[in-house]
Chains A and B, each alone.
Chain A
Amino acid sequence: MKRSSDYHSIPDLAQLFSKEQSIGIFEKMCLCRYFELEVANAYEKSLIASPIYLSIGQESISAALSTVISNFTIFAQHRCHSAYLAFGGDQHKIVDELLGRPTGCAFGQGGSPMLQDPDIPMIGHHGLIGENIPLAVGYALGSTQPTLCLFGDAAAEEDYALTAMGFASKHQLPVLFVCEDNDLSILTPTEVRRNWEICDVAQALNMPAVDITDDPWLIAHHAQELIQSLPAFINCRTCRHYWHAGVGIDHEPEWDRLQLVKDQLKTLSINAQDIEEQTKQDIKGLWEKLLPKQLKI
């Protein structure tokens, strides 16, 4: 089944990674998960005034990519907290941004969907779904530097998305396109919107492409290979746990990758619990420090 936690998985793949690599991936997943749970908490307490787009459930994609990709300029989508955090975005600045402060990473102008960090470097998305695809392609053309472009399954349907990928193919530009395919456009499932697969289109556009589940070792494995022959495309089946915007939950996610990774770590004799606890505490401390005194959560 295409939407499954083991779609196109490779048996025992995690064993081929070093302990350090596996721990690195898990640490980043925890960072994203527990950071966003604090975001949700702050949002519920009305400390965040603008809409938030949580990537809880989808963390493994950025976490895995960030461990195999370096020196790429990142063009993330609107649901960008995980990309920002996993690739090392300044944690103080994202908190400030969410709280609408001028000291935020987008100067309090953008909020949740418009994070940027010139030091990663990650270029800001301004909210028009799929805009980052042509922008990333142009950036790769102009800079000749490797570029990572993350977008959703609905963004891929934008008229300018596939055409920009076609341009990247024609000009053999160094772009890794990654679709964070949660099967939803707000709450409209893919099958209602189209009868084709992006992976097929990417292949038809003459670039190597894979369609896989969001197992981080699987993502890392393919990314490592595909960055040797850019442009390339990864469609990654994943689950968004929360609402499109905000903190509501409609139904249980089809799977929780963080839990599956923890199960896997056990088989690798890695103590996930300590890492998870430590990350949780660190992030709690950060938020406590940055929230206004009278508003501590």
Chain B
Amino acid sequence: MGKTVAETIKDLTFDHLKNNNGLLLGQAITAVGYVNHTVPKNCPGIIELSMADVAGSGIAVGTALAGRRPILVIRFQDFLILNGSMLINYAAKSKDMFQQPSPIFVRALAIEGHGAGPVHSAKLHNIFMHFPGFRVWAPITPNEYKQTWTDFLEHDDPVISCEHRSSFSSRDEYANEIEPAADITLFGISVGRTNIIKAARTLRAEGITVNLVHIVQLKPLVLQQSWLEALSRSHCGLVVDTGFETCGAGQNIAYELMLKTNKPVQALGLKDVSVGVSGDKENLTPRPEQIVTAVKNRLRNRSGPMRSA
């Protein structure tokens, strides 16, 4: 049996700390489950940061300047707004400005539902895609995590690894599913991908043909030829994002896809309201049933103007 995502993270981290002179920094990373069992125990190079978020990420960037290729754990992406200052302002610019790279691997954890509420449920990959200098990934399988890590080691840019806690116990891998001609091509980001898989099952049972495309590397965004061809052979496309829909990664990717294919592509993400702790206030990644409804609306209005689900 292969490793889970959490075991993969822990093993890669252990190797980096033990054999690569790496560092792991973060707040409360060596207590309460060691970040969902992703942090190795009794290992050199682990630094508990104080609660000073802006200073903490600046200190981590300083260790990157010193060549330690640090891993910075952000236990909830909401804290990236504070931590982001040093990452966006210095780490992402230092290579362009000073030819002095700041290679830092930021483990940005997301969670949703379970009452995560307004301050523990953020998904902020879009912010980091916006700024020059970052490489942004959203791995949810063991192999994807290894790919993300290898990308970090092979480059000298800061990497934002947008992780989702709900994937940590998983061993699954996912492959794109592309038909000769499908009604719609669904693109997914992070756990939006497991939702498009479920939605596809329902749609296919109702006779609607569906392509599935998994987007793991968000920046640089490489729109693969096979995706573009799949979309070109479909009536339309839909991108399911885990972040807010407004000015989100999904909308940006939909735009890029439309430019390349001339096919209408819609983006679905979180509603434009603050996240609450219970019931429908939780504002989750579009559920499979919401995706199904959106697809049907889109196909119903095939020749008409684009319309939100």
Set A128, A135, A142, A163: member contacting B50, Cβ < 8 A? A163
- Tell me, yes or no, whether A246 is within 8 Å of chain B by CB: no
- Tell me, yes or no, whether B303 is within 8 Å of chain A by CB: no
Q: A134-B62, A134-B86, A139-B63 are in contact. Are A126 and B94 (CB under 8 A)?
A: yes
Q: A159-B54, A163-B52, A166-B52 are in contact. Are A139 and B96 (CB under 8 A)?
A: no
Residues in chain A near residue B135, CB distance under 8 A: none
Residues in chain A near residue B255, CB distance under 8 A: none
For B93-115 the 0/1 string (1 means CB < 8 A from A) is 11011111000000000000000
A164–B56 Cα distance when bound, in Å, is: 7
A142–B98 Cα distance when bound, in Å, is: 19
- Tell me, yes or no, whether A86 is within 8 Å of chain B by CB: no
Comparing B1-9, B66-74, B151-159, the segment that makes contact with chain A is B66-74
- Tell me, yes or no, whether B28 is within 8 Å of chain A by CB: no
> Is the CB–CB distance between B68 and A142 below 8 Å?
yes
Number of residues in B with C-beta < 8 Å to the partner?
A: 32
A137–B65 Cα distance when bound, in Å, is: 11
Comparing A102-110, A181-189, A209-217, A272-280, the segment that makes contact with chain B is A102-110
Q: How far is the CB of A10 from chain B (nearest CB, A)?
A: 34
A138–B94 Cα distance when bound, in Å, is: 15
For A115-137 the 0/1 string (1 means CB < 8 A from B) is 01010000110101001011111
A117–B97 Cα distance when bound, in Å, is: 13
A271–B298 Cα distance when bound, in Å, is: 87
A60–B60 Cα distance when bound, in Å, is: 32
- Tell me, yes or no, whether A143 is within 8 Å of chain B by CB: yes
- Tell me, yes or no, whether B293 is within 8 Å of chain A by CB: no
> Is the CB–CB distance between A126 and B65 below 8 Å?
no
Beta-carbon nearest neighbor of B52 in chain A: A163
- Tell me, yes or no, whether B116 is within 8 Å of chain A by CB: no
- Tell me, yes or no, whether B277 is within 8 Å of chain A by CB: no
> Is the CB–CB distance between B99 and A135 below 8 Å?
no
> Is the CB–CB distance between A106 and B65 below 8 Å?
no
Q: How far is the CB of B71 from chain A (nearest CB, A)?
A: 13
> Is the CB–CB distance between A110 and B65 below 8 Å?
no
Q: Kindly name the residue among B23, B97, B100 whose own CB sees the greatest number of chain A CB atoms within 10 A.
A: B97
Residues in chain A near residue B23, CB distance under 8 A: 141-142
Q: A134-B54, A164-B59 are in contact. Are A141 and B65 (CB under 8 A)?
A: no
For B25-63 the 0/1 string (1 means CB < 8 A from A) is 000000000000000000000010110101111111111
Q: A141-B47, A142-B68 are in contact. Are A131 and B89 (CB under 8 A)?
A: yes
> Is the CB–CB distance between A167 and B86 below 8 Å?
no
> Is the CB–CB distance between B97 and A160 below 8 Å?
no
- Tell me, yes or no, whether A170 is within 8 Å of chain B by CB: yes
> Is the CB–CB distance between A170 and B50 below 8 Å?
yes
A138–B54 Cα distance when bound, in Å, is: 12
- Tell me, yes or no, whether B90 is within 8 Å of chain A by CB: yes
Q: How far is the CB of B190 from chain A (nearest CB, A)?
A: 29
Residues in chain A near residue B49, CB distance under 8 A: 167
> Is the CB–CB distance between B89 and A139 below 8 Å?
no
Number of residues in A with C-beta < 8 Å to the partner?
A: 32
- Tell me, yes or no, whether B64 is within 8 Å of chain A by CB: yes
Total A-B residue pairs with C-beta atoms closer than 8 Å? 117
Q: How far is the CB of B278 from chain A (nearest CB, A)?
A: 33
> Is the CB–CB distance between A164 and B52 below 8 Å?
yes
Set A107, A124, A134: member contacting B59, Cβ < 8 A? A134
Beta-carbon nearest neighbor of B99 in chain A: A107
Q: How far is the CB of A89 from chain B (nearest CB, A)?
A: 13
Q: How far is the CB of A19 from chain B (nearest CB, A)?
A: 38
- Tell me, yes or no, whether A265 is within 8 Å of chain B by CB: no
- Tell me, yes or no, whether A234 is within 8 Å of chain B by CB: no
Residues in chain A near residue B57, CB distance under 8 A: 134
Residues in chain B near residue A143, CB distance under 8 A: 66-67
Q: Kindly name the residue among B49, B56, B57, B67 whose own CB sees the greatest number of chain A CB atoms within 10 A.
A: B56
For B112-142 the 0/1 string (1 means CB < 8 A from A) is 0000000000000000000000000000000
> Is the CB–CB distance between A110 and B89 below 8 Å?
no
- Tell me, yes or no, whether A114 is within 8 Å of chain B by CB: yes
Q: Kindly name the residue among B50, B59, B97 whose own CB sees the greatest number of chain A CB atoms within 10 A.
A: B59
> Is the CB–CB distance between B52 and A138 below 8 Å?
no
Residues in chain A near residue B94, CB distance under 8 A: 124, 126
Beta-carbon nearest neighbor of B62 in chain A: A138
Residues in chain A near residue B59, CB distance under 8 A: 134-135, 137-138, 141, 164, 167
> Is the CB–CB distance between A164 and B55 below 8 Å?
yes
Residues in chain B near residue A136, CB distance under 8 A: 62
Q: How far is the CB of A175 from chain B (nearest CB, A)?
A: 10
Residues in chain B near residue A133, CB distance under 8 A: 55, 58
A159–B228 Cα distance when bound, in Å, is: 47
Chain A residues proximal to chain B, CB less than 8 Å? 106-107, 109-110, 114, 116, 118, 123-124, 126, 128, 131, 133-143, 145, 159-161, 163-164, 166-167, 170
Extra contacts, 4 of them, besides A133-B55, A134-B55, A143-B67 (Cβ < 8 A), are: A131-B86, A135-B61, A159-B54, A163-B52
**A-B residue pairs in contact (CB < 8 Å), sample of 30:** A107-B98, A109-B98, A118-B100, A123-B65, A124-B97, A126-B98, A131-B89, A131-B90, A134-B62, A135-B58, A135-B65, A135-B90, A136-B62, A138-B59, A138-B65, A139-B62, A140-B62, A141-B62, A142-B23, A142-B62, A142-B65, A159-B55, A160-B52, A161-B55, A163-B54, A166-B50, A167-B50, A167-B52, A167-B55, A167-B56
Chain B residues proximal to chain A, CB less than 8 Å? 23, 47, 49-50, 52, 54-68, 70, 85-86, 89-90, 93-94, 96-100
